[in-house]
Each structure stands twice: as C-alpha cells, then as structure tokens.
Amino acid sequence: MGHPKELERLHEARRLAPLPALFFHFDDSSLERIADHAELEGRIRGRLLAKDPDQVREGLSNVLYWRYQLEGEGQADIYAFRMGVRHWSLVEALRLFDWLEGPGLVSIEQLRLPAFRDLPACSALRMFLDPERYACLRPVHLAIHRLPGRSVLHDVSGASDGWPVTLLNEACYERWCRVCRELARAMDGPARAGGAYPWRAADVERALGVLIATGEGELVLRLLELGECLPPAA
C-alpha cells in the first residue's frame, strides 16, 4: 500500500510521545531510572507474569505508577491498591495472566483488584501483558468524543468522570486494538526499511494520543477510518 501523509504524521507523532522512565521499588521506596522504555515495559511485564504473588503486586503497582507518570494523576490509586489488595486476588491474577487471550478487560475487572476497575486502568494492564497486540485506552483518546463524527472511540460508552468496563466497551476496545495493529502493520515496512524500531499496537496508541493532545483530532479520525479499512493480515 502507499504511505499517505496521515501515516507520515503518525510517524512524527511517535517520536514526540512522552514515555515514563521510572520504576518504583516499593519494598524500599526507591526509584530507578530506566534508560530505555522497552526495558521498563519488560521489567513490569516480568513482574506481572511471575509466579510469585508479591512480584505480581509489584508489577500491578508499577502499572499504576506508570500511569501516574504519564498522566500526572492517580497517586491515590497506587495507595488504594497497595492498601486494599489481598493475597488471594493476587493468586487469581497470576492465574489469569498465565492464560489470558483476547481483549480480556471483563476478566481483569472481575478480579476486583483495587484501582483496576475502569477502562483506562484495565486497558493499561492489558497493554503491559502484550504491547504488540494490545494498547491502552486513555482519557486523552476518549476526548475525541468532543469532535463530531463516527469512530470506534465514539462508540465507547461513558463520560470523563468514568469509563466502565462493560461487554460493549470490551468489544469497542477489541476494535480499537485491531485498528492500532493494522496501522502498526502499515507503518512497519517503512520503519524497518529506515532502521527504526518496529511498530506495535502500543506505539500507534501513543502516537494517536499525541495527535489528539495537540489538537489534531480530525487527523486521528482519518487514521482510525484508515485502520478500519485496511485488509487484515493474511
């Protein structure tokens, strides 16, 4: 396929996406600066997929801390999670993470983990488990509701004071991730040819977030339409 101006702008936006750089060691309340964001993702994912409930707790805590770094709010969620989470729910979480397939947001929400009860938090967790195929769905993306038009983001139900995890919203999330994957696939050929990192669903989501935050929502709507129309991978 061609490489239209919309995809060129998406490429530029990825370079501008803010990426958290700190991993919090909750056992001694120390911060570690990680030079490469992919390494930070791997560190958190390693904790989430550990067979030790204490390590899973650290991973989940750092998902929340990652969101706090990115969005500048949610510090109370970290405290609520660490004070309220129970050992048995961590055991259930590690069992779920071991076999989780598909969007999985309803299954994650049903763990009843403190602070992991809405669409942004559950989608952030799903992204860390598999950033190749799954993306966050953050408030910055859902702000597209303010623009007239139709898109997968317009179909998400909720409002700025709450985006619940429902079967309908999980279906919208699955569509959102599919669009991100298709756009990543469209970008991946030129990226590899230029020696850049390959694109993943998570990278597309971050680039789209930059475009929305900089007032380019109409461009995002065109990109979402493009992603919906791209033929699926063979």
Whether the pLDDT of residue 196 is over 70: the answer is: no
Q: Own/partner pairs for 94-99, CB < 8 Å, 24+ apart? A: 94/49, 94/50, 94/51, 94/52, 94/53, 94/56, 97/48, 97/49, 97/56, 97/129, 98/49
Give me the pLDDT at residue 163, please: 86
Per-residue pLDDT at 234? 52
Q: Residue 5 pLDDT > 90, yes or no?
A: no
- Mean pLDDT rounded to a whole number for the chain: 90
pLDDT above 60 for 17: yes
Give the pLDDT band of residue 77 (cuts 50, 70, 90): very high
Structure tokens of 25? 């060691």
List Cα–Cα distances, 198 to 15, 77, 185, 189, in angstroms.
Answer: 13, 33, 9, 8
Output the six-digit token pair for 81.
Answer: 């999670």
Residue 195 is predicted with a pLDDT of 46
pTM: 0.91
pLDDT above 80 (res 1):
no
User: Residue range 210-226: average pLDDT?
Assistant: 92
Is a pLDDT exceeding 50 seen at residue 192?
A: no
**Mean pLDDT to the nearest integer, 88-95:** 95
Per-residue pLDDT, averaged over 157-167, amounts to: 82
% of the chain surpassing 70 pLDDT: 92
Q: Which residues pair with 25 in a beta bridge?
A: 30
SS3 89: helix
Residue 200, C-beta contacts closer than 8 angstroms, at least 6 positions apart: 131, 132, 133, 184
Q: Give the pLDDT mean for 91-100.
A: 94
Q: Which H helix or E strand runs over 212?
A: helix 201-213
| Closest CA relative to residue 126, chosen from 176, 69, 187, 197 | 176
Backbone angles phi, psi at 31, to 5 degrees: -105, 140
Residue 224 has pLDDT above 60, yes or no: yes
CA–CA distances in Å: residue 157 to residues 84, 118, 148, 172: 28, 12, 15, 9
Does the structure show a pLDDT above 50 at 124?
yes
